[in-house]
Structure 1
């Protein structure tokens, strides 16, 4: 696990507060997010030799699901939270999987252009403010190869975002529109209702 960033940034932890980290995997299990991750992995069309990046990898649940289904891919995860990454490292090791785990920020990915075939991001985009969302998507497009694919899941609100300021950019099809504006061709959004904590939209987007 490596620690890389050109500058320090403020970030919202996966559970909103650092002291809630022990509940992260409990919430993942209770909510049924594992089914969303399985659908994301299936939608990615992975093949042996593909290089896969998970932006905001948290404790490694999506990386683990990917490696278990496709042991021939190369896994990399980035997250700003060192405690999350430590849990991810242990979890992947127990599963017999190898992955590169870096401390870093979605807005400034420390990889060369065209480094990855697929990029995942699960329930992370809404943690970013409006300008940071655009910076992240620009970085994802940069590190993807010309035929690369982004598979992103995030919370979806319908109607209005009153009382959900951190989700103000996630009303309706706003996420898909933002991804398209970053230079992707976006498939129709797939929405899935979790057992708890609302609705998730899955976006599958190809570099154009």
Structure 2
């Protein structure tokens, strides 16, 4: 955990409150979110040597799923919550995975242009207001290499998420929908940068 944002921002922690963090991984298991993560990794299809970024990585569940299936990719996670990152670091180390974890914000990614082949975001977009969503998508587009993919899962809002991604300059595939216990429908968006 080395990088720090150039400016501080307010953020909504996972589950909405810091004191609920111990229940984050329990909810992940009970809700069936692991199946969404498996599907995200499958459709992303990272290849050998790819750099993969998870924005809003929380406790590292999606990074762990990716790393277990694709040992030959470079994994990077970003989250504004230092406690989540500390938990992710322990969990990923126990899984035998080498992952770079940085404190940072989706709207202000501290990475060079065209530096990632795949970018993930799971159940994080709804935490951002409209302006911040646009800033995040612009940042994702900036850090993705030409032909790179954004694979984003969020609470399904009848095409609004896909429309916002398309408006940011991505080519968006049809939404894949999956039902989660306690959350309802989750849309998985796959978008390519030109």
Q: Same fold (TM over 0.5)?
A: yes
**Deviations along 1:60-110, whole A, 9 cap, x unmatched?**
000000000000000000000000000000000000000000000000000
- Are residues 3 and 111 of structure 1, via their aligned partners in 2, closer, same or farther at CA, if it must alter by over 3 Å? closer
| SS, match of residue 108 in structure 1 | coil
Residue of structure 2 in register with 1:205 after alignment: 191
Displacement of 1:115? 0.5
Distance in 2 of aligned mates of 1:13 and 1:102: 16
Residue of structure 2 in register with 1:36 after alignment: 36
Alignment of 1:38-187 (within 5 A): 38-156=38-156, 171-187=157-173
Distance in 2 of aligned mates of 1:15 and 1:178: 24
Structure 1 runs, 4 residues or longer, greater than 3 Å off: none
User: How many pairs were matched up?
Assistant: 194
TM-score (norm 2): 0.99
RMSD across aligned C-alpha pairs, in angstroms?
0.6
Displacement of 1:51? 0.2
Displacement of 1:197? 1.7
**Deviations along 1:137-173, whole A, 9 cap, x unmatched?**
00000000011000000011xxxxxxxxxxxxxx310
TM-score (norm 1): 0.92
**Deviations along 1:23-43, whole A, 9 cap, x unmatched?**
000100000000000000000
Displacement of 1:195? 2.2
Distance in 1 of aligned mates of 2:181 and 2:165: 27
Distance in 2 of aligned mates of 1:194 and 1:38: 14
Distance in 1 of aligned mates of 2:121 and 2:3: 20
Tell me, which stretches of 5 or more residues in structure 2 are unaligned?
none
| SS, match of residue 40 in structure 2 | helix
Maintained 8 Å contact 2:3/2:110: no
Matched, 1:192 2:178: yes
Residue of structure 2 in register with 1:161 after alignment: none
